[in-house]
């Protein structure tokens, strides 16, 4: 260190410029929370935040304790605004695919209605600053829910 | 910035330092746009894989690794080695291909003590070729966020063996046929028709083929399932 007396100040300057240049914390809001299904934290899965105004969706990966933090692309956070959320969680595939092909998808953990924008019923407003959004999902279907036909091209 | 500019010299100096730092950080960047985003497969975040952006006109191909949280950031070549997420690519029209792999199969390795084999393809095959992916993006100067919501390999259409007949009998196609017979008909055709398909996507396809991992979708006809065994 003594050999380069300016190294420290250069580092500080570099870090400052890095922040100023907009490489970190570019979104005005952040969201984290816990996802439970009938009171039990989900062990895995995906929460997606779909803006009501045009724009890319943001996503949170649910960790083994049910927590998620929303990212937009590679950056933490998202723009403030109104969002419709969907939640998808599947068991890990249990059997290998045939001929080394993709394994059949694991059993779904979350009910189907949480997977679609039109039926999830999860509408939230994300405020500027940090937001805590805990999602308490249930296996009771919403009123008027009808299981659609199995999807896929047949 | 303003507080550095108390004097002309100070201002010039700080601008100089900024240029120096920025210049160092982006010495290998060639563009004016950043592209980041997220890849999902049937609604779940993609665990690993590659996103490739092919320019519609001349220009370098941009690639991005898919991280375990489904996110990616595009770069050209080595990109911005100091801050990979800030790598720049030229703005313009692009066609994207995506390969998403699952966990590698336990115990299967390239050779004894070698690295594990790549996991099976999780996305529908159409996304791995730019002729069929249908993923077109207009990259604007500045920041771009593109979410790729893809269908899984379960959506691969059942393969049709008649494609094999017009395989034009090129070496590649023959080899592929020998490998896996009918189940490979579609891929083989991709090979022969798609020579211009760039490095990354093609490599992925190749890997998939030689590893016998080509699209065994649940809808495969029974005879195609047997095709893999000699």
pLDDT per residue as tens digits for the range B54-110: 999 999 999 999 999 999 999 999 999 999 999 999 999 999 999 999 877 676 777
At residue B163, the pLDDT reads: 43
Picking from B182, B145, B134, the residue whose alpha carbon sits closest to that of residue B162 is: B182
Distance of residue A97 Cα from the nearest chain B Cα, in angstroms = 7
Report the distance separating Cα B216 and Cα B153, nearest Å: 8
- Of the pLDDT bands very low, low, confident and very high (cuts 50, 70, 90), residue B38 is very high
Q: A54 vs B119, which has greater pLDDT? A: A54
A100 touches B: beta carbon within 8 Å = yes
Coil, strand or helix: which one is A36? strand
Q: Look at chain A and count its residues.
A: 154
- Find the CB nearest A57 among B44, B69, B147: B147
Contacts of A90 in chain B (CB under 8 A): 44
Mean pLDDT of A62-88: 97
Picking from B127, B107, B126, B125, the residue whose alpha carbon sits closest to that of residue B117 is: B107
- pLDDT tens for B192-221 read 233 333 333 333 333 333 333 333 333 333
Picking from B210, B220, B207, the residue whose alpha carbon sits closest to that of residue B101 is: B207
Report the distance separating Cα B226 and Cα B174, nearest Å: 18
> Per the CB < 8 Å rule, is A99 touching B212?
yes
At residue A102, the pLDDT reads: 72
Q: Look at chain B and count its residues.
A: 230
Percent of chain A with pLDDT strictly greater than 90 = 64
> Per the CB < 8 Å rule, is A56 touching B143?
no
At residue B148, the pLDDT reads: 97
Q: Which residue of B has its CA nearest to A68?
A: B69
Mean pLDDT of chain B: 69
State phi, psi for A105 to the nearest 5 degrees. Answer: -55, 145
Contacts of A63 (CB under 8 A, 6+ apart): A44
Q: And the tokens for B47?
A: 């665990």
Report the distance separating Cα B5 and Cα B2, nearest Å: 5
Please state whether beta strands A58-61 and A46-51 pair in parallel, antiparallel, or not at all (unpaired).
antiparallel
* Number of CB atoms found within 10 A of residue B127's CB: 26
Least confident of A42-51, A128-137, B174-183: B174-183
Report the distance separating Cα B152 and Cα B198, nearest Å: 23
Dmax (CA) for chain B in angstroms is: 80
The secondary structure element, H or E, covering residue A47 is strand A46-51
Residue of B20, B74, B123, B145 to mutate, testing the A interface (most A Cβ within 10 Å of its Cβ): B145
Least confident of A90-94, A124-128, B77-81, B127-131: A90-94
Mean pLDDT of chain A: 84
Distance of residue B31 Cα from the nearest chain A Cα, in angstroms = 16
Locate tokens 């999602």: which residue?
A135
Q: And the tokens for B64?
A: 């991005």
- pLDDT tens for B220-230 read 333 433 333 33
Q: And the tokens for B73?
A: 């950031």
At residue B140, the pLDDT reads: 96
Q: Which residues pair with A68 in a beta bridge?
A: A33
* Number of CB atoms found within 10 A of residue A23's CB: 17
For chain A, positions 34-53, list CB contacts with chain B under 8 A.
45-46, 48
Burial (0-12, 13-18, 19+ Cβ within 10 Å), B104: middle
**ipTM here:** 0.78
Coil, strand or helix: which one is B137? strand
At residue B114, the pLDDT reads: 79
- Of the pLDDT bands very low, low, confident and very high (cuts 50, 70, 90), residue A25 is confident
Distances, alpha carbon B183 to alpha carbons A109, B9, B160, B206, in Å: 32, 70, 8, 15
The secondary structure element, H or E, covering residue A13 is helix A7-20
């Amino acid at each position: 260190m003594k050999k380069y007396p300016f190294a420290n100040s250069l580092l500080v300057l570099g870090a400052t410029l890095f922040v100023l240049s907009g490489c970190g914390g570019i979104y005005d809001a952040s969201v984290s929370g816990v996802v439970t299904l009938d009171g039990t934290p989900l062990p895995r899965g995906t929460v997606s935040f779909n803006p009501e105004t045009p724009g890319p969706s943001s996503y949170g990966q649910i960790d083994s304790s049910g927590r998620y933090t929303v990212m937009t692309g590679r950056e933490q956070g998202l723009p403030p605004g109104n969002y419709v959320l969907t939640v998808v969680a599947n068991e890990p595939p249990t059997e290998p695919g045939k001929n080394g092909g993709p394994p059949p998808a694991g059993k779904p953990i979350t009910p189907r209605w949480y997977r679609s924008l039109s039926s999830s019923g999860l509408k939230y407003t994300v405020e500027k600053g940090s937001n805590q959004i805990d999602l308490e999902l249930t296996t009771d279907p919403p009123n008027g829910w009808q299981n659609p036909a199995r999807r896929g091209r047949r | 910035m303003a507080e550095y500019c108390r004097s002309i010299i100070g201002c010039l100096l700080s601008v100089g330092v900024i240029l120096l730092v920025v210049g160092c950080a982006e010495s290998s960047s060639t563009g004016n746009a950043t592209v980041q985003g997220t890849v999902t497969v049937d609604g779940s975040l993609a665990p690993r894989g590659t996103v490739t952006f092919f320019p519609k006109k001349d220009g370098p191909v941009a690639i991005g690794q898919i991280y375990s949280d489904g996110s990616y950031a595009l770069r050209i070549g080595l990109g911005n080695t100091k801050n990979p997420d800030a790598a720049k690519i030229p703005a313009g029209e692009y066609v994207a291909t995506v390969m998403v792999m699952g966990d590698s199969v336990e115990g299967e390795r390239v050779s004894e003590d070698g690295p594990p084999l790549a996991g099976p393809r999780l996305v529908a095959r159409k996304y791995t070729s730019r002729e069929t992916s249908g993923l077109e993006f207009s990259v604007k100067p500045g920041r771009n966020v593109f979410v790729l919501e893809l269908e899984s390999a379960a959506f691969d259409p059942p393969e049709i063996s008649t494609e094999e007949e017009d395989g034009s009998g090129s070496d590649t196609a023959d080899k592929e046929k020998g490998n896996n017979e009918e189940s490979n008909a579609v891929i083989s055709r991709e090979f022969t028709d798609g020579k211009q398909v760039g490095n990354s996507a093609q490599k992925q396809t190749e890997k998939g083929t030689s590893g016998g991992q080509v699209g065994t979708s649940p809808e495969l006809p029974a005879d195609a399932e047997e095709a893999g065994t000699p």
